[in-house]
């Protein structure tokens, strides 16, 4: 299993702890990761201005991965997954689209033949590594933890683009991944609710109201922490948690971990290397429930 | 060859002794379309059966001569009425003569109705009603039902829309009339395994599965001892049970029975858990299919919690649970169009679900006047008298109608949450209710339809039923009754069941049926050598199939459109009475330098030409009309033949999009004409010289305009 | 009131010609999208059903100059459920593109375009970031990507 690691824009700057722990768990679970310095933005935010330009940006990344000689690409961010998977699918399924794309890429000497498979990191863990293989490598007992998984939107939707690997109306794979660490995934209402990240730059109040709804429901579920697999979702629930608490005069203190941090914890990664200190809501209470040697 | 020319009581000037060559005997008469005319024509026929009738439009001539193999030349409506003199008329007649020369004789095809009994499949309300009428008419009926009791869906229901009358009103007298008729043999627990043969002589294999109860005194002792409680449409019963229809005996549901033997021990009569299944073959002359509806499985509706949330249920289960006193709802939402008009599930409207949904709302309010009842819909479809049900629900029952299709349904504690937009207020709405009723659509019984070789895919076979009793279809032996054809309510099912009974009666009451419509002739050797099967999917009626490696036409299904003939790349398939050679011969006889050859569909454009004649419109004299059954019958050689003779233009005139008499003949014509136009351009012929136009049967004026444009009289105005 | 003369009847067809807009005219206004929309739940200005209706009617300016046109989160909850196969998020993207082309670019988007042209990503990689990354054992990031600018310039995407 070898994947070009597509970092995207947000994770390597605002989610370094995500990137670091992702690399760590991949190493432990035998997923080889290759860096492609030539990767740039996946095009997702630019689609608002020009869907065509966004398409070419994603295609450019696919060409860069191919140039590197890797067969597959793995993203950390769900929106990166959505745009890279979607563009890849369009190019591979339509010869005309491929030709037109390559004409544009030729402008700077790039070319894409359609050889790359694209998946989100969590899908790689669920599909390629598998829940059983993860369970087999668990070293720490997390059974005392109740975790609210937030699958987010683009990890599974559009269903057709992602080969319907999960049920869009009842996504289960992230819960299964959480369960694989030994922690208990809690069910809560509106699990599919969007984090509002895509609206943040356009109407902050609305985006925060969306995130607040989820935090309310997660809090009510009695979860020790929330788990995310997308740096943008984490920005909404974690980085903006204080802002929401202030605006609505509420208190959550809800840690929002990246799934790779939780998984790393289960796999026995030294606590220091899980970078919990970089989480803006400190998961100290949660960690107190786990025996860390 | 015999040629009869009609002067139409002097309307048409015919010269003293018109000469069409030595082998053509000409007879001129005053009025062909009469009993006397028919007698004269019959008398004139000797050994040479080739016959040309020149007179009024075939629309009228066919009334008198439809069963005689002849070529008809319309020298009245499209001759004198359109200003043609004898020269023009003579050309038209020559066309008919050449066509007759090139045509193969059409044999009259008949089939003996050797078996006089009829099979009715399915003993729901439709099957019972068909059987009742056929029995009343004195036919011997075998009525088979898969379930242990007759009654079908209606027997499971509590009440019927629109008034909410108990099902007993309709069902009980019907069951009694059927069960009490000596002509009708009712076979429950029985499936049709196979059907072979054709109209007048079907051989049907029936399989009767064990009922388990051999003799029954209706003591009911078996019920309390039975340990199994399967759920039958929302309501639990025992694995041994009775139903208040027919027969008046208990039966065992062997899917639920564990063969514990407790019923056998207590039974004072006779139960046999090892009763064997029986097979038998019967022969019938006609078949009525009344297999009814299949409920759309709600488990497919994942956004609505279908199959996952107990309180989200099908209409039939909800109705039965209320009737059985299992539930007492205080707050209910009925969701219309659940999985209907939806590309992900059923793309069509099932017609009855709006009414079923409203019925559930009404019976909830009837039983529990204080219950809050909501009903969400995309469009309310309550045609005709059903509008009153809609009004009653709003006005008297106080049901709240919400315009908007719910987006998701989920559980919150022991309540069910529904999210929807109330479109009329524009508000986003969240409702918390006790129960959600999904008024889903219905699917056809694909297995039975497939076994009978009736065309159906996702959609119901209404294309088939549309033609079953059509006056221009060939005699059929299979009739669809009730909801088997398309979802119908009880009222309409009963009507359709009578229609099916009438159809079966029309066949069974004859000794011989005659086929009215021409069918394609297939040269087996040529066809077999190419083996392409291209024609099979082009048939709109599923009449073509490969039987024992040979392309076969089911004459009962064929409607004679000729679409398949044009598809055949080897020319091995040609439609009788409308053969390629015959049409081409007519084209070559009438087309000349500068003419406009028009292939006009007999259902639309040809009638438009008649209309132009009745209105005495100023039609360019260059027009040469070739009558065809459908634009889908026109092939490249016919068009090329016209151009080869110097035609200035070729017009193909048919029915407007979606309105083809043969479902999709005109769409076929569109793609063929496009191809032909490209081909013509490559040959240096201006592609505008080949035109395809749509006509209503009254659009004579449009036809005149189009022909004028093509003849260069008018600059194109783009009709 | 809006009079029929003020409507731009080509608007719907233009949207139908855009990527993902093909099925827009199949919409029968059932409201599934509006009831599914997580943005509309918290901000009544945004209603996908109403937006599509406005497009089909030809209310070009009312849509392209609106503030609601920017509010679709692109979560695809609606399109997964749409019974008529309308690709609602793609239509919203097309509308945002048309608004941008018409010069009504939202300031946030304009900023993102500038960042992309300068750095090839929507965040500038500062010296601090790479230092910090190295400290954490992560590879340094490239500071720029000229090729992204070439794509944007070629297609005339400007802030």
CATH of the domain at B184: 3.50.50.60
- Tell me the per-residue pLDDT of B28-53, one tens digit each, with 9 for 90 and over: 999 999 999 999 999 999 888 899 99
Q: Which of chain B's residues have a Cβ under 8 Å away from the Cβ of C84? A: 341-343
pLDDT-based confidence at A56, cuts 50/70/90?
very high
Distance between CA B625 and CA C150 in Å, rounded? 63
In B317-434 the beta strands, taken as DSSP E runs, fall at: 331-338, 372-377, 400-403, 408-412, 415-422, 427-433
A-B C-beta contacts closer than 8 Å:
7
Among the candidates B74, B106, B138, a domain finishes at B106
Q: In terms of pLDDT, which residue wins out, A225 or B35?
A: A225
CB–CB of A169 and B410 under 8 A?
no
Which residues touch A72 (CB under 8 Å, ≥6 apart)? A1, A2, A3, A4, A116, A117, A118, A119
CB B416 within 8 A of CB B312: yes
Note the pLDDT of residue B17.
87
pLDDT of residue B460: 61
Closest chain A residue to C19 measured between Cα atoms? A51
Interface check for A220 against chain C (CB to CB < 8 A): the answer is no
* pLDDT given for residue B472 in this prediction: 77
Question: What pLDDT, on the 0 to 100 scale, is given for residue B461?
Answer: 56
- Say yes or no for a CB contact (<8 Å) between A154 and C96: no
Number of other CB atoms surrounding residue A117 within 10 Å: 16
B434, B342: one domain: yes
Residues B137 and B258 both lie in one domain:
yes
Q: Is residue B481 part of a domain?
A: yes
In Å, how far are B111, B466, B636 from B473, measured between CA atoms? 15, 10, 27
Question: Is B342–C41 a contact, with Cβ atoms under 8 angstroms apart?
Answer: no
Mean pLDDT of A263-274: 97
Please tell me whether residues B96 and B132 are part of one structural domain: no
| In a domain? residue B690 | yes
Q: Could you tell me if B484 and B448 are in contact, meaning their C-beta atoms sit under 8 angstroms apart?
A: yes
A272 to chain C: which residues are within 8 Å by CB?
none
Contact status of C42 with chain A (Cβ, < 8 Å): yes
Residue at B458 is within a domain: no
Output the domain CATH number for residue B539: 3.30.70
**Structure confidence at residue B717 as a pLDDT band (50, 70, 90):** very low
Q: Which fold has domain A2-121?
A: Glutathione S-transferase Yfyf (Class Pi); Chain A, domain 2 (1.20.1050)
The mean pLDDT of A84-113, rounded to a whole number, is 97
Question: Is there a contact between C41 and A192 (Cβ–Cβ < 8 Å)?
Answer: no
CA B322 distance to own-chain centroid: 37
Contact B354, B382 (CB under 8 A): yes
Confidence of residue B466 (pLDDT cuts 50, 70, 90): very low
CB contact under 8 A, C74 and A12: no
> A157-185 b/e with 16+ CB inside 10 Å = b?
bbbebbeeebebbebebbbbbbbbbbbbb
Do B282 and B355 have their domain in common?
A: no
**pLDDT tens-digit map of B215-254:** 999 999 999 999 999 999 999 999 999 999 999 999 999 9
Q: State residue B462's pLDDT score.
A: 54
Closest CA to A141 of A56, A268, A50, A27: A268
Mutation for C interface: A5, A6, A13, A264, most C CBs within 10 A: A13
Indicate if B410 and B556 belong to the same structural domain. no
Q: What is the CATH number of the domain that holds B661?
A: 3.40.50.960
Indicate yes or no: CB of B408 within 8 angstroms of CB of A169. Answer: yes
Q: Identify the band that residue B719 occupies on the pLDDT scale cut at 50, 70 and 90.
A: very low
Is residue C134's pLDDT more than 50? yes
Check whether residue B23 and residue B93 sit in a common domain: yes
Question: Greater confidence, C158 or A59?
Answer: A59
Nearest CB to B343 within list C31, C44, C85: C85
Q: B554-575: per-residue pLDDT in tens?
A: 888 888 999 999 999 999 999 9
Residue B465 has pLDDT above 80, yes or no: no
Compute the mean pLDDT over every residue in chain C, rounded to the nearest whole number: 95
Domain containing B714 equals 591-719
HSE-up of B492 (CA within 13 Å, CB side)? Answer: 17
Q: Please report the sign of the dihedral spanned by the C-alpha atoms of residue C131, residue C136, residue C138, residue C139.
A: positive
The verdict on residue B10 lying in a domain is: yes
Mean pLDDT across chain B: 93
- Return the axis-axis angle of helices B636-644 and B580-590, rounded to nearest 10°: 20
Compute the distance between CA of residue A100 and CA of residue C139 in angstroms, rounded to an integer: 34
pLDDT at residue B716 tops 60:
no
Bridge-based pairing state of the strands B240-241 and B251-252: antiparallel
pLDDT of the residue at B109: 87
Beta-carbon contacts of residue A22 (< 8 Å; ≥ 6 apart): A5, A76, A121, A258, A260
Q: Which of A11, A283, A24 is nearest to A147 (CA)?
A: A283
Q: Do A49 and C150 touch (CB under 8 A)?
A: no
d(CA A84, CA B627): 58
- Residues B426, B309 share a domain: yes
> Which residues in chain C are closer than 8 Å to B406, comparing Cβ atoms?
32, 35
Per-residue pLDDT at B452: 87
Question: B24 pLDDT exceeds 90?
Answer: yes
**B124 and B267: one domain?**
yes
Confidence band of B658 (pLDDT split at 50, 70, 90): confident
In the predicted structure, residue A53 carries a pLDDT above the cut 50: yes
Whether residue B144 has pLDDT greater than 70:
yes
pLDDT of residue B475: 79
Q: Do B405 and C85 touch (CB under 8 A)?
A: no
Tell me which of 3.30.70.3270, 3.40.109.10, 3.40.50.1820, 3.40.50.11810 is the CATH number of domain A141-287: 3.40.50.11810
Residue C120 touches partner A, C-beta closer than 8 Å: yes
Q: Torsion over CA of B311, B316, B319 and B325, rounded to 10 degrees? A: -70
Q: Do C75 and A110 touch (CB under 8 A)?
A: no
Is a pLDDT exceeding 50 seen at residue B270?
yes
pLDDT value at B136 more than 80 = yes
At residue A39 the predicted structure's pLDDT band, cuts being 50, 70 and 90, is very high
- On whether the CB atoms of residues A215 and A180 are closer than 8 A, the answer is no
B266 CB-contact burial (10 Å; exposed 0-12 / middle 13-18 / buried 19+): middle
Average of per-residue pLDDT across B674-703: 95
Domains of chain A, residue spans: 2-121, 141-287
List, in order of start, the domains of chain C with CATH numbers: 4-101 (1.10.1060.10), 107-154 (no CATH)
Q: Total structural domains in chain B?
A: 5
CA distance B467 to chain C (A): 30
Question: How confident is the model over B11-23, as pLDDT tens digits?
Answer: 999 998 899 999 9
Please tell me whether residues B288 and B301 are part of one structural domain. Answer: no
Query: Which of A4, A37, A40, A247 to probe by mutation at the C interface, max C CB count within 10 Å?
Result: A40
Alpha helices (H) along B452-550: 462-468, 490-508, 524-530
Residue B449 lies in a domain: no
Q: Which two tokens stand for residue B483?
A: 């909801």
B635 and B552 belong to one structural domain: no
Query: Alpha helix (H) ranges present in B296-352?
Result: 315-323
By the CB < 8 Å criterion, does C75 face chain A?
Answer: yes
Distances (CA, A) of B307 to A102, A127, B704: 47, 27, 62
pLDDT score of B629: 96
Instruction: Examine the domain organization and report whether B253 and B397 are in the same domain.
Output: no
Is the pLDDT at B468 greater than 70? The verdict is no
Q: Quote the mean pLDDT of chain A.
A: 97
> Residue B458: is its pLDDT beyond 60?
no
Secondary structure E strands in B31-168: 51-55, 71-74, 110-112, 118-121, 141-144, 159-160, 165-166
All chains having 3 or more CB pairs closer than 8 angstroms to chain A: B, C
- Residue-level pLDDT at A94: 96
Are residue B378 and residue B419 in the same domain, yes or no? yes
Given a cut of 50, is residue A288 above it in pLDDT? yes
Residue A164 has pLDDT above 80, yes or no: yes
Span B329-348, average pLDDT? 96
Residue B454 lies in a domain: no
pLDDT at B356 over 80: yes
Confidence of residue B718 (pLDDT cuts 50, 70, 90): very low
Chain C contact present for A36, CB below 8 A: no
- Whether residue A23 is predicted with pLDDT greater than 50 in this model: the reply is yes
pLDDT at B485: 85
Q: Are B154 and B167 in contact (CB under 8 A)?
A: yes
Of the two residues B717 and A230, the one the predictor is more confident about is A230
Which of B303, B344, B421 is facing C31, going by the closest CB pair?
Answer: B421
pLDDT bucket at A292, cuts 50 / 70 / 90 = confident
Calculate ∠ Cα B497-B500-B504, nearest 5°. Answer: 140
Q: How far is CA C109 from CA A44, A88, A267, B173, B414, in A?
A: 12, 25, 41, 73, 45
pLDDT band at B542 (very low <50, low <70, confident <90, very high): confident
C49 with B379: Cβ contact below 8 A: no
């Amino acid at each position: 299993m070898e994947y070009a690691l597509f970092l995207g824009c947000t994770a390597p700057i605002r989610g370094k702890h995500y990137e670091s722990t992702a690399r760590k768990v991949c190493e432990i679970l035998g997923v080889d990761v290759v860096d492609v310095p030539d990767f740039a933005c996946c095009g997702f935010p630019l689609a608002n201005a020009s869907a065509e330009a966004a398409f070419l940006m994603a295609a450019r990344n696919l060409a860069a991965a191919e140039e590197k000689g890797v067969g597959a690409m793995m993203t950390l961010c769900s929106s990166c997954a959505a745009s890279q998977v979607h563009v890849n699918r369009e190019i591979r399924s339509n010869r005309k689209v491929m030709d037109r794309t390559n004409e544009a890429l030729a402008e700077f000497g790039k070319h894409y033949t359609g050889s790359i498979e694209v998946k989100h990191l969590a899908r790689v863990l669920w599909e390629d590594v598998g829940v059983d293989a993860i369970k087999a490598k668990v070293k720490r007992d997390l059974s005392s933890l109740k975790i609210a998984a937030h699958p987010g939107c683009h990890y599974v939707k559009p269903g057709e683009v992602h080969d319907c690997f999960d049920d869009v109306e009842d996504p289960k794979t992230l819960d299964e991944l959480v369960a694989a660490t030994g922690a208990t995934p809690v069910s809560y209402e509106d699990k599919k609710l969007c984090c509002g990240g895509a609206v943040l730059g356009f109407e902050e109040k609305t985006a925060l109201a969306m995130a607040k709804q989820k935090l309310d429901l997660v809090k009510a579920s009695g979860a020790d922490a929330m788990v995310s697999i997308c740096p943008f979702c984490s920005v909404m629930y974690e980085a903006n948690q204080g802002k929401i608490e202030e605006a609505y005069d509420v208190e959550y203190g809800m840690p929002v971990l990246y799934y790779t941090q939780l998984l790393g914890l289960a796999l026995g990664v030294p606590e220091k290397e899980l970078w919990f200190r970089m989480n803006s809501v400190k998961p100290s209470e949660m960690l107190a429930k786990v025996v860390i040697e | 060859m015999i040629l009869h020319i009609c002067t139409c009581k002097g309307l048409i000037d015919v010269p003293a002794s018109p000469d069409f060559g030595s082998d053509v005997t000409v007879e001129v008469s005053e009025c062909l379309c009469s009993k006397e005319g028919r007698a004269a024509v019959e008398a004139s026929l000797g050994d040479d059966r080739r016959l040309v009738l020149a007179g009024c439009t075939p629309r009228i001539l066919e009334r008198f001569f439809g069963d005689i193999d002849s070529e008809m030349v319309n020298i009245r409506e499209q001759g004198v009425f359109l200003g043609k003199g004898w020269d023009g008329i003579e050309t038209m007649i020559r066309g008919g003569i050449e066509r007759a020369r090139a045509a193969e004789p059409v044999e009259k095809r008949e089939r003996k109705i050797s078996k006089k009994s009829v099979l009715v499949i399915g003993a729901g309300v439709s099957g019972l009603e068909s059987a009742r009428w056929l029995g009343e008419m004195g036919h011997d009926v075998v009525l088979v039902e898969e379930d242990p009791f007759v009654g079908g869906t209606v027997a499971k229901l509590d009440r019927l829309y629109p008034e909410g009358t108990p099902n007993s009103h309709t069902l009980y007298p019907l069951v009694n009339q059927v069960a009490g008729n000596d002509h009708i043999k009712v076979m429950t627990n029985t499936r049709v395994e196979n059907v072979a043969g054709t109209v007048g002589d079907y051989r049907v294999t029936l399989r009767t599965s064990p009922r388990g109860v051999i003799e029954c005194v209706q003591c009911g002792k078996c019920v309390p001892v039975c340990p199994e409680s399967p759920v039958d449409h929302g309501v639990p019963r025992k694995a041994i049970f009775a139903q208040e229809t027919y027969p008046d005996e208990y039966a065992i549901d062997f899917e639920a029975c564990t063969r514990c033997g407790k019923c056998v021990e207590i039974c004072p009569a006779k139960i046999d858990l090892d009763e064997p299944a029986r097979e038998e073959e019967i022969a019938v002359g006609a078949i009525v299919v009344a297999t009814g509806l299949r409920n759309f499985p709600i488990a497919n509706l994942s956004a609505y919690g279908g199959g996952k949330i107990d309180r989200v249920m099908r209409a039939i289960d909800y109705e039965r649970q209320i009737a059985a006193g299992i539930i007492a709802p205080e707050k209910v939402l009925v969701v219309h169009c659940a999985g209907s008009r939806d590309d992900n599930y059923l793309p069509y409207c099932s017609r009855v679900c709006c009414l079923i949904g409203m019925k559930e709302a009404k019976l909830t309010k009837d039983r529990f006047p204080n219950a809050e009842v909501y009903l969400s819909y995309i469009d309310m479809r309550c045609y005709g008298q059903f509008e009153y049900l809609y009004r009653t629900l709003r006005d008297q029952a106080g049901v709240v109608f919400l315009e908007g299709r719910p987006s998701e349904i989920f559980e919150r504690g022991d309540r069910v949450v529904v999210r929807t937009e109330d479109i009329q207020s524009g508000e986003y709405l969240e409702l918390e209710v006790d129960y959600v009723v999904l008024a889903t659509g219905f699917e056809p019984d694909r297995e039975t339809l497939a076994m009978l070789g009736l065309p159906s895919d996702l959609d119901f076979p209404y294309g088939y039923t549309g033609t079953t009793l059509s006056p221009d279809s060939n005699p059929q032996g299979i009739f669809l009754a009730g909801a088997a054809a398309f979802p119908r309510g009880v009222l309409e099912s009963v009507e359709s069941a009578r229609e099916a009974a009438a159809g079966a009666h029309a066949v069974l009451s004859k000794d011989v049926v005659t086929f009215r419509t021409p069918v394609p002739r297939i040269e087996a050797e040529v066809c077999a050598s190419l083996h392409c099967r291209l024609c099979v999917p082009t048939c709109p009626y599923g009449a073509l199939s490969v039987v024992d490696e040979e392309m076969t036409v089911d004459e009962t299904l064929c409607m004679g459109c000729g679409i398949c003939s044009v598809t055949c790349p080897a020319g091995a398939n040609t439609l009788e009475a409308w053969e390629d050679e015959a049409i081409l011969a007519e084209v070559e006889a009438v087309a000349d330098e500068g003419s406009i050859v028009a292939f006009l569909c007999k259902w639309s454009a040809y009638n438009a030409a008649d209309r132009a004649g009745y209105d005495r419109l100023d039609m360019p004299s260059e027009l040469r009309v070739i009558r065809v059954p459908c634009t889908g019958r026109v092939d490249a050689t016919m068009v090329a033949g016209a151009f080869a003779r110097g035609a200035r233009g070729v017009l193909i005139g048919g029915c407007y999009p979606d309105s083809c008499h043969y479902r999709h003949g005109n769409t076929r014509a569109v793609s063929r004409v496009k191809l032909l136009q490209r081909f013509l351009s490559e040959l240096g012929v201006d592609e505008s010289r080949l035109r395809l136009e749509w006509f209503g049967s009254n659009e004579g004026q449009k036809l005149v305009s189009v022909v004028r444009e093509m003849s260069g009289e008018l600059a194109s105005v783009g009709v | 009131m809006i009079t029929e003369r003020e409507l731009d009847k080509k608007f719907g067809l233009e949207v139908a010609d855009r990527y993902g807009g093909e099925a827009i005219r199949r919409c029968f206004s059932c409201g599934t999208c509006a009831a599914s929309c997580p943005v509309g739940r918290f901000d009544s200005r945004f209603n996908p059903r109403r937006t599509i209706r406005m497009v089909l009617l030809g209310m070009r300016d009312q849509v392209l100059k609106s503030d609601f046109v920017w509010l679709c989160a692109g979560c695809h909850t609606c399109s997964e459920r749409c019974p008529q196969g309308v690709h609602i998020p793609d239509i919203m993207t097309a509308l945002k593109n048309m608004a941008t082309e018409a010069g009504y670019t939202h300031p946030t988007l304009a900023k993102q375009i500038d960042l992309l042209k300068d750095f090839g990503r929507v965040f500038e990689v500062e010296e601090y970031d790479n230092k910090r990354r190295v400290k954490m054992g992560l590879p340094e990031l490239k500071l720029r990507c000229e090729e992204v600018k070439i794509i944007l310039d070629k297609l005339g995407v400007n802030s």
